[in-house]
Structure 1
Amino acid sequence: MGTLLIRNARNIITMDDQKTKIPGGSIFVQDQKIVAIGTSLPYDTADVVIDARDKIVYPGLVNTHHHLYQSLTRNIPLAQSCSLFDWLTTLYEIWVHLRPEDVYLSAMIGLGELLKSGCTTSSDHFYCFPNATSPYLIDEEIRAARDVGIRFFPTRGAMSLGRARGGLPPDELCQDENSILKDMQRVIERYHDARPFAMVRVGVAPCSPFSVTKDLMLESARLARAYGVRMHTHLAETLDEESFCLQTMGVRPLDFMEMTEWTGSDVWYAHGIWFSDAEIQRLARHGCGIAHCPTSNMKLASGVFPLAKMKQSGIPIGLGVDGSASNDTSNMLLEVRMAHLLHRLHTGPDALSAEDALYLATRGSAQILGWDDEIGSLEVGKAADMFLIDTRRLEYAGALFDDAALPVLTGLSQIVDTTIVGGRVVVEHGRLVHVDEEQLAQVAQRAATRLVEEASLRTGIDYRQSRTSPPAASNAPAYQP
């Protein structure tokens, strides 16, 4: 892959254990690995040289929770002003019409947006497998990740508990347990790469307690551990989920995880809002990680993640943008900003500094993906995953006093100037290197329009109209929360 020299940076924000900053520093990269970092390096040239004189270098952000396929169902009027379960039952009817090409396009969009906002590694939780289409949809996401050049951690999700059996999703989006487990095994064997500096690692991810069976949770945990891959699911996102578990299984969500072998340091949950104090202590003992998704939680009015209690208990915490339809963007730097502001508002001015929010999105996120030995900070021996911002941009004028906080607190777009993954430049001058962005946007919008139109024809519902009344009874879940 050759060599890369980034020289004479205004500053390098390393996010190492000491949160070291290197004004005037340089970085030398051989293949994917950082070989040297500091000032006065003994390297004058390389295959690619970047003059970073007015630029600040940051470690690449790490996204720990996403649903990339939702990029084609953003800003749907009927899905606004909803809590989680109403939002899901509305969008399920559109997602039934997903095709393989839609999954590829949506992943290209979401991953491209992430790269442009400084994210160099992203996980994804893919659980939507319409009965009428190919079962190999996660393969389309992996293909897209390779095309845009991002480091990728897809998790093979699933829904097996449809409405006919008391679950939330329509039966058309559910698969039987045997098919799910067989494909989880296929995805692991085909794509998981445990070697250093891998570009793809995979995990196992049944969707949630209200959309899968106990048997699937048990068997998927055993499958994951047999192969040594990580495990991911939604948990404790809303009080509706808590009510579902209590009424249908007689236990709280964390109890269900313990019953089905879904606890341990190889497990991370998305959201984790509605844990009791005692459950937080249990989480800490288990070593489970949490993907905090502040924008999604605010949009769906799910609640506020108990960050201070989680941190005090030593629970690993990372950040995630969540699905584009519950965020309406895939902007990782913006997610860092939202985390910083939300917890200051909710807890107080000392709750989460801008630099600490950035730390959650780098070191914290890398830890819960089990990848902290290679990504999350700029250090010798780690992957050359980073982003650069040019301080000469108008939105940074008058703000050049705290380089670590700069991209979190200032700027409106959070679009970075350069993104590098594994030593390769994938965003340059704020644009994707390997993608015709305008053409992709046009093709993707046509696909999104088709999805909405097909759903409207099937259901008789106009999804472009804003919600003015509660969802019809036929769309409600099988229980009353």
Structure 2
Amino acid sequence: MAERGTVTTVVESAAVVTLDPHRREFTTGHVVVQGNQIVAVGAGPAPAYEGARVVDGRGCVVTPGFVNTHQHLYQWVTRGLVPDAGLFRWLTTLYPAWAGIDEESVHVAATGALGQLALTGCTTAFDHHYVFPRDGGDLLGAEIRAAAEVGLRFHPSRGSMDLSEKDGGLPPDSVVQDRDEILLATEAAIDRWHDPSFGSMLQVAVAPCSPFSVTTELLREAAGLARRRGVRLHTHLAETTDESAWCADRFSCTPAEYAESVGWLGPDVWFAHGIHFTDADLKQLASTGTGVAHCPSSNARLGAGIARTADLRAAGVPVGLGVDGAASNEAGSLLEELRHAVLFARARGGPESLTVRAALEMATLEGARLLGRSHEIGSLEPGKLADLALWRLDTLPHAGITDPVAALVLGAPPPLQLLLVNGQPVVENNHLVRVDESAVATQVARTQQALLAKAG
């Protein structure tokens, strides 16, 4: 039920793309929000609501808010470094800098990254945080505080690494933890932060980092913990050919077969990247309801490859979108991922491989499905939470493009007229409402300098 005693917001005279079960679209329509929920969506003028805030949507399109299904917020303060390397060299070069993160730097990084996500249409953000230096302080708390300040719906994860260089993994010893310590900290994070209620602004996932930074025992025990506590599971998988070779050498199987062997397939699991899946892998993912967070910009930036997005979707695998870490996708724009998803899919499989509306669906409904929130967010329907974006399409870069979805996905990034999260404005007139963008930018630059100086 919508919250009572709160302002009604009416978006009027806009093009409306609902993503509802009938995929209704209105050339000129309305969306009505009461409290934190949508109460009406339709064609033509909205009914009159006394005392409502009326937003003039002429020249705009309103869509569901985007859902980011894979990110590393802490990396916002290490952007632009190691610009010309593949994944393994990129990781080993940056780990010394990441080993110096603390509460303050993570809060600054998260504020910057989440602010940029909001400015590019994101209303729900997932973060995969797996670096916990021993003297770092309350890093999850720092990014959760940042999300509340920016105003986004937030799904942080308690990530982990217990396989260091001395064990044959990639991370340095200073950023890995003991398995028992990890499991205790993960359960404590669920106890402290996870809110499973309808409309929740904060839900926690369990997210060991990757096959080459986590032991088999941790993967198995993390899966058991997550399922006992009713939370979701996430990790990197099948991102590079190096990873595939590593799994073949260590376990005599593909990354997906390894994940299956440790209990990491199911509708409560989604993997980041999923570039190098075999046909057999796709069938297994689909049959188990296991999802994939597609990160086209990061995949290209690191030269990891082009994911088989069209094949994944055709097989029935749920596929959402993610920006990945800002150190491998400096733009940090979720809107940009829609365009890149379409372009890379077509570069691989032809002009009909991925439609603009399929890309929008991946950014909204499918992302909500990966996070277990499709009954609450991802479409504009009465009874769903009021997470929506109003995009201005009457400026020079978009004027004359009659299809608003094509304009949004294929055109230049348009101004964001309004972003509502849980019914509350987070962006207005293409600016953040709750945080000072200039101040955050200054803090980000200073924090990167300090972090690099600390790393030597």
In the alignment, residue 46 of structure 2 is paired with which amino acid? L
Mapped pair 1:28 → 2:29: no
Q: Contact conserved, 2:60 with 2:390, CA < 8 A, in 1?
A: yes
How big is the shift at 1:328?
0.7
Pick aligned residue for 1:101 from 91, 100, 104: 104
Residues 89-238 of structure 1 mapped to structure 2, 5 A cutoff: 89-134=92-137, 136-238=138-240
Which whole-Å CA distance do the structure 2 matches of 1:227 and 1:453 have between them? Answer: 41
In the alignment, residue 404 of structure 2 is paired with which amino acid? D
In the alignment, residue 332 of structure 1 is paired with which amino acid? L
In the alignment, residue 268 of structure 1 is paired with which amino acid? W
Aligned to 1:469: none
How big is the shift at 1:415?
4.4
Aligned to 2:404: 403
Which whole-Å CA distance do the structure 2 matches of 1:98 and 1:423 have between them? Answer: 34
Q: Contact conserved, 1:6 with 1:52, CA < 8 A, in 2?
A: no
Give the TM-score normalised by structure 2: 0.96
Residues 462-477 of structure 1 mapped to structure 2, 5 A cutoff: none
Which whole-Å CA distance do the structure 2 matches of 1:184 and 1:347 have between them? Answer: 41
Which whole-Å CA distance do the structure 1 matches of 2:176 and 2:414 have between them? Answer: 37
Which whole-Å CA distance do the structure 2 matches of 1:8 and 1:154 have between them? Answer: 34
Query: Deviation per CA, 1:238-277, whole angstroms, max 9, x where unpaired?
Result: 0111111222233321222122111111000001111111
Aligned to 2:427: 427
Aligned to 2:86: 83
In the alignment, residue 353 of structure 1 is paired with which amino acid? T
In the alignment, residue 66 of structure 1 is paired with which amino acid? Q
How big is the shift at 1:47?
4.5
Which whole-Å CA distance do the structure 2 matches of 1:45 and 1:317 have between them? Answer: 41
How big is the shift at 1:26?
1.6
Give the TM-score normalised by structure 1: 0.91
Which whole-Å CA distance do the structure 1 matches of 2:114 and 2:345 have between them? Answer: 27
In the alignment, residue 450 of structure 1 is paired with which amino acid? A
In the alignment, residue 425 of structure 1 is paired with which amino acid? P
Query: Deviation per CA, 1:7-29, whole angstroms, max 9, x where unpaired?
Result: 42231111112221123212221
Q: Contact conserved, 1:118 with 1:415, CA < 8 A, in 2?
A: no
Which whole-Å CA distance do the structure 1 matches of 2:180 and 2:245 have between them? Answer: 28
Unaligned runs of 5+ in 1: 458-481
Which whole-Å CA distance do the structure 1 matches of 2:61 and 2:114 have between them? Answer: 23
- Other structure's SS at 2:234 match: strand
Q: Contact conserved, 2:418 with 2:425, CA < 8 A, in 1?
A: yes
Pick aligned residue for 1:345 from 344, 347, 357: 347
The number of aligned residues is: 451
Taking structure 1 as reference, are residues 437 and 7 closer, same or farther at Cα in structure 2, changes over 3 Å only?
closer
Which whole-Å CA distance do the structure 2 matches of 1:450 and 1:147 have between them? Answer: 23
Which whole-Å CA distance do the structure 1 matches of 2:67 and 2:188 have between them? Answer: 26
Q: Contact conserved, 1:125 with 1:154, CA < 8 A, in 2?
A: yes
**After the TM superposition, which of the residue ranges 247-256 and 157-166 deviates more from structure 2?**
247-256
In the alignment, residue 249 of structure 2 is paired with which amino acid? Q
Give aligned-pair identity as a percent.
Answer: 43
How big is the shift at 1:414?
4.5
Which whole-Å CA distance do the structure 2 matches of 1:36 and 1:60 have between them? Answer: 16
- Other structure's SS at 1:248 match: helix
Measured on the aligned residues, the alpha-carbon RMSD in Å equals 1.3
Aligned to 1:59: 64
Taking structure 1 as reference, are residues 259 and 7 closer, same or farther at Cα in structure 2, changes over 3 Å only?
closer
- Other structure's SS at 1:281 match: helix
Aligned to 1:296: 298
Which whole-Å CA distance do the structure 2 matches of 1:54 and 1:242 have between them? Answer: 48
Aligned to 1:453: 453
Mapped pair 1:3 → 2:7: yes
Query: Deviation per CA, 1:18-57, whole angstroms, max 9, x where unpaired?
Result: 2211232122212111111113433333443312233211
Residues 41-52 of structure 1 mapped to structure 2, 5 A cutoff: 41-52=46-57
Aligned to 1:467: none
Q: Contact conserved, 1:9 with 1:57, CA < 8 A, in 2?
A: no
Which whole-Å CA distance do the structure 2 matches of 1:394 and 1:376 have between them? Answer: 29
Taking structure 1 as reference, are residues 46 and 302 closer, same or farther at Cα in structure 2, changes over 3 Å only?
farther
